[in-house]
Amino acid sequence: MPQFMDVVFYVCAVYLTVAVAVATRLGWYMVTRLDHFDWLHSKPEIWGMFVFATLLWPLVLIKPMALIKPADLFSGPYGMAARMREEELLRQYPPPCGQTVRYRQSPGRNVETFGEFTFNSADLEKALVAKLQEHPHLADDHEGAILNWLRQRNDSIKTPTDVPDAWHRFQFIADDELRAGRGKSFCLKCNDQIPGIGLREEDDHGIPGWNFDRLLCQQGHPLLVVESVHISVRQLST
Ligand SMILES: [Zn+2]
């Protein structure tokens, strides 16, 4: 019996020793590598992962790389901290912007789109100034950062510069501009330029759930699809 108790003691001692080592490693990483974006957007997940990995370290050690490079353990839900970090970097250090900008909608929860658009940067700047006067709170969102990007443009750059993917709210700006008759549209499915009056509008109205505004080419390919409004429908019990 004493021998059995010795085994239990040594197993517990080894388990606790490794747990302390794992906690030390993760704690060091949390203190030295995680920044304020991580703590702002993923704080509960960070502490949850720390407790989980410390108590149940054998599950973590199935993939030892997780301890060597713990970044994935602390990436948080939907990579929110990484997205916010990228947006802040874009705001502080915007990439070069030329006379025209090119936009391709990122894949989202909407249907796949096939539009590629180019806009005159000066037109966009004018439109955004008007939009921010009407909705000042957007100055802190992508719209404010995009306006700053457009304002520091270099008109000697003649080749179109791409709108960074991280500024996904550019889709609303593009939608407004195209419906106002500004910008050039190209359908990647038809492999053809679309004349200014050639865009078809197909918008949802009053559908329960998300409603979308769509711009299509003449062949019906979706070029730009943006969320317009979400309608909640309460299920009435009968
Ligand atoms: Zn098409």
pLDDT tens, 52-105?
Answer: 889 988 888 888 787 888 887 887 767 778 888 888 889 989 999 999 999 999
192 CA to middle of ligand 1, Å? 7
195 CA to middle of ligand 1, Å? 12
Region 149-162: mean pLDDT is 95
Note every long-range contact of 197-202, with CB atoms under 8 Å and residues 24 or more positions apart, other chains counting.
199/223
Q: What is the pLDDT of residue 236?
A: 44
User: How much is the pTM?
Assistant: 0.76
Mean pLDDT, the chain, as a whole number?
Answer: 88
188 CA to middle of ligand 1, Å? 7
| β partners of residue 194 | 185
Q: What is the pLDDT of residue 1?
A: 61
111 CA to middle of ligand 1, Å? 14
* pLDDT greater than 60 at residue 18: yes
127 CA to middle of ligand 1, Å? 27
Cα-based angle 156, 160, 161 (whole degrees, multiple of 5): 95
217 phi, psi to nearest 5 deg:
-80, 175
101 CA to middle of ligand 1, Å? 21
Residues 101-145 have pLDDT tens digits of: 999 998 766 678 999 999 999 999 999 999 999 999 999 999 999
Rounded to the nearest 10°, the torsion over CA 103, 184, 197, 199 is: -20
Most confident region among 27-36, 63-72, 163-172 by mean pLDDT: 163-172
